[in-house]
Amino acid sequence: MDESDFEGSLVLEKLGAIGKVDEFFEALDGDDFEEARKLMKAARVDAAMIEIVLKKMAEADGEH
């Protein structure tokens, strides 16, 4: 999973609005699900989208 998976998405827009895009990608790269969840909640990403992103993270485990 990399930045192109989220390019232009609402998730990135919301994370960008709070200045947390880099931290989010660090969480993705480190398979840090809790940090990714925390950052998305802070960015006010809705719960359904958070679950989709976490599912994609799990599916991509080891492929980034």
- pLDDT, tens only, 12-47: 999 999 999 999 999 999 999 999 999 999 999 999
> Which range (4-8, 33-37, 55-59) has the least confidence?
4-8
Q: What's the confidence (pLDDT) of residue 5?
A: 56
Q: What's the confidence (pLDDT) of residue 63?
A: 55
Is 1 a residue whose pLDDT tops 70?
no
SS (H, E, C) the chain: CCHHHCCCCHHHHHHHHCCCHHHHHHHHHCCCHHHHHHHHHHCCCCHHHHHHHHHHHHHCCCCC
The CA distance from 2 to 42, in Å, is 21
Extents of the domains making up the chain: 3-59
Q: What's the confidence (pLDDT) of residue 48?
A: 87
Taking the model in full, what pTM does it have?
Answer: 0.81
